[in-house]
Structure formats: structure tokens, C-alpha cells
């Protein structure tokens, strides 16, 4: 780590100001308000990469319409396990957001979530039959009560006019629709949560600052981060007890630089999602089990 005369410190440093880091920061501060938490972001503001509303589809993933969540088993039955898991997870997200709205942390649900029917659309007899089976299995479950299915051209045209425009009416088509689907603006949600965090003690967010390197401290207690101010070029050193890599696609580079054994062998896999999910789980376990908040308060520069 390069030497410099600006050493800052926090219990927890989260790299990146997207939906992942911001959500985790809110959870940590709700569970342990005296934790000192800093988010470090290389761009001038939050939610400019994948979390930005123009950079993702905005689907509130409740597995209403994603056909890959409901594979057909060898015996021809529909396997709902993954869909139910995703549905339950999204429900937990909504409960968390409801909690934040109720306590006034986020001004209004209207600022980030809206009802949008979720549809699956298929062409061809085999796929229409798969969709019918999927519909039968799903609509029998309370998570998907109210799901609609149709093979009727005019009905589907009413649901999705642009999809049906110009099609041959003799074509075999089928669709399902869930009117309880949602569209989520994860960028607005991130900004809302960040504003809430900014109102709290022992929270800081630093923009235009890029984490260039990280290194485990010799005593094994925490991490040193080398953080470059992208405008001035100045380097500072940050002392963190725990680090969360919420750096989206850049998380791999940082994960490799950390030299932790778990980072080995991941470059060729679907590591981005892994990095986020794995680090979130590991992180929460460690912080909550070890009770960081029982340590002396850390310090910030004046």
C-alpha cells in the first residue's frame, strides 16, 4: 500500500454506490446504528452503472414471467422451486421497502415502484403447451393466484397490442399475465436510501473516489484500502474492519486483489452475481456474529 498522510477509518467500507452497497448499508445501520459506515464511489453520484434506470429492465423479479425459473422436469412436470424462491425473496424486498416507507426513511413508494403487469409470450404448439402446464402449476399456488392464461389471439392483442401487431392470426401463440407485477426504479430507490443514510451519524459517502487496491492488515483484524480521488489524483488510505465489494463488474478485480482464497478460480465463471451475493452473505454473517458495534467508535477526518 502506498504511503500517504491521509488515513481514514470506518468499521465498514462498502465499495460502489449502487443498489447492493446502499441496501446493505441501510440494513447495517438499522441493525447497529453505532457502526461507522462509508460508501466509496468512483463516479460523481450514485446509481450510474447497472443500478441506473436506463441500464436495467426495471423488472421487480417475482418470477411471474421468467420462463427459465420454471424448467420442465424429465417427467414433464413443471419445477416451481426456483420461482417460489425468487418470489419469496422479492416479497422480503417489498417488506423491507414498506418498512422504510412507514418509518419515513423513503418519502413515497411512488418514487420507485409501480404496478406493471408481467407477461410471458410464446409462439408454437410445444411452447404453448409448456406455458399452459406452467400456468396450471403456478396458478394453483397462492404466490401466483390470479395468473391468467390465453391462447386467444384477440385476448393477447388486448394485453399486448404491439407484440401482436402484424402477426398472422393463424400462428399458434399463448401468453400468461400477472397483473400484480411491478416495475422498480432501482436508481431512485438507491438515491432515496442514500438520502436516508446521509441523515445518520457515522455515515459518509465519498464520490469521485476509486478504490484501487485492498490488502489485509498484518494483524488480520481488518483491511487497508488505497483510494484515489479521481479529480485531484490524491491518494488516501482507509482502514476498514470489514469491506463489502458492491462494485458491480469491477468487483472481480478487487476480489482478486484481496487474495482471499475464495477469489481463486472465479474469473471464468458467472462471477459478478456470485461476487455480490457471496460477499453480501459472508459480510452479514461476519458483522452480525462478531458484533462490530461493541468495538470502540471509529473516527472520521474533521
Ligand X SMILES: Cc1cc2nc3c(=O)[nH]c(=O)nc-3n(C[C@H](O)[C@H](O)[C@H](O)COP(=O)(O)OP(=O)(O)OC[C@H]3O[C@@H](n4cnc5c(N)ncnc54)[C@H](O)[C@@H]3O)c2cc1C
Instruction: Single out the residue of 206, 237, 131, 219 nearest to residue 175, CA to CA.
Output: 131
Binding status of residue 43 toward ligand X by CB under 6 A:
yes
**The one among 29, 49, 62, 196 contacting ligand X by CB under 6 A:** 49
Q: Which three cell numbers stand for residue 47?
A: 446509481
Task: Quote the least distance from Cβ 222 to ligand X, whole Å.
Answer: 18
**The one among 9, 30, 32, 59 contacting ligand X by CB under 6 A:** 59
Of 113 and 276, nearer to ligand X (C-beta) is 276
Binding status of residue 61 toward ligand X by CB under 6 A:
yes
Span 165-224, contacts to ligand X by CB under 6 A: 186, 210-211
Q: Which stretch binds ligand X (CB under 6 A): 38-46, 70-78, 122-130, 291-299?
A: 38-46
Residue 299 near residue 276, CB atoms below 8 Å? no
**The one among 9, 32, 56, 200 contacting ligand X by CB under 6 A:** 56
* CA distances (Å), origin 162, targets 150, 177, 228: 17, 15, 48
Binding status of residue 50 toward ligand X by CB under 6 A:
yes
Binding status of residue 42 toward ligand X by CB under 6 A:
yes
Chain center to CA of 156:
32
Centre a 10 Å sphere on the Cβ of residue 78 and count the other Cβ atoms it contains.
Answer: 17
Q: Which three-class secondary structure string do you get for 119-181?
A: EEEEECHHHHHHHHHHHHHHHCCHHHCCCEEECCHHHHHHHCHHHHCCCCCCCCEEEEEECCC
Residue 246 near residue 193, CB atoms below 8 Å? no
271: CB partners within 8 A, 6+ apart:
251, 252, 255
Q: Whole-angstrom Cα distance, residue 168 to residue 40?
A: 54
Of 118 and 134, nearer to ligand X (C-beta) is 118
Of 56 and 215, nearer to ligand X (C-beta) is 56
Quote the longest CA-to-CA distance of the chain: 74
Q: Which stretch binds ligand X (CB under 6 A): 47-55, 99-107, 168-176, 196-204?
A: 47-55
Of 11 and 41, nearer to ligand X (C-beta) is 41
Span 18-37, contacts to ligand X by CB under 6 A: 18-21
Binding status of residue 53 toward ligand X by CB under 6 A:
no
Give the residues lining the site for ligand X (CB under 6 A).
Answer: 15-21, 40-43, 48-51, 56-59, 61, 186, 210-211, 246-248, 250, 276
Amino acid at each position: 500500500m502506498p504511503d500517504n498522510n491521509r488515513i481514514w477509518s470506518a468499521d465498514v467500507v462498502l465499495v460502489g454506490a449502487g443498489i447492493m452497497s446502499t441496501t446493505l448499508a441501510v440494513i447495517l445501520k438499522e441493525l447497529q446504528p453505532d457502526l461507522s459506515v462509508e460508501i466509496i464511489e468512483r463516479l460523481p453520484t450514485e446509481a450510474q452503472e447497472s443500478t441506473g434506470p436506463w441500464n436495467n429492465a426495471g423488472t421487480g423479479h417475482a418470477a411471474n414471467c421468467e420462463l427459465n425459473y420454471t424448467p420442465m422436469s424429465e417427467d414433464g412436470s413443471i419445477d416451481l422451486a426456483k420461482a417460489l424462491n425468487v418470489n419469496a425473496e422479492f416479497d422480503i424486498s417489498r417488506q423491507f421497502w414498506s418498512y422504510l416507507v412507514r418509518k419515513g426513511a423513503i418519502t413515497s413508494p411512488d418514487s420507485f415502484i409501480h404496478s406493471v403487469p408481467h407477461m410471458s409470450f410464446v409462439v408454437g404448439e410445444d411452447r404453448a403447451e409448456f406455458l399452459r402446464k406452467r400456468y396450471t402449476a403456478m396458478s394453483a399456488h397462492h404466490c401466483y393466484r390470479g395468473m391468467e392464461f390465453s391462447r386467444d389471439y384477440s385476448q393477447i392483442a388486448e394485453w399486448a397490442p404491439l407484440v401482436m401487431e402484424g402477426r398472422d392470426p393463424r400462428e399458434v401463440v399463448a401468453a400468461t399475465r400477472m397483473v400484480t407485477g411491478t416495475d422498480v426504479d432501482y436508481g431512485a430507490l438507491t438515491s432515496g436510501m442514500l438520502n436516508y443514510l446521509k441523515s445518520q451519524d457515522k455515515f459518509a459517502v465519498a464520490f469521485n473516489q476509486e478504490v484501487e487496491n485492498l490488502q489485509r492488515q498484518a494483524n488480520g483484524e481488518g483491511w487497508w484500502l488505497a483510494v484515489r480521488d479521481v479529480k485531484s489524483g490524491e491518494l488516501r488510505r482507509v482502514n476498514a474492519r470489514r469491506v463489502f465489494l458492491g462494485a458491480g463488474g469491477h468487483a472481480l478485480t478487487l476480489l482478486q486483489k484481496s487474495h482471499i482464497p475464495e477469489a481463486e478460480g472465479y474469473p471464468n465463471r458467472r462471477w459478478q452475481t456470485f461476487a455480490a451475493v457471496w460477499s453480501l452473505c459472508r459480510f452479514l454473517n461476519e458483522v452480525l456474529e462478531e458484533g462490530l458495534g461493541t468495538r470502540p467508535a471509529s473516527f472520521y477526518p474533521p
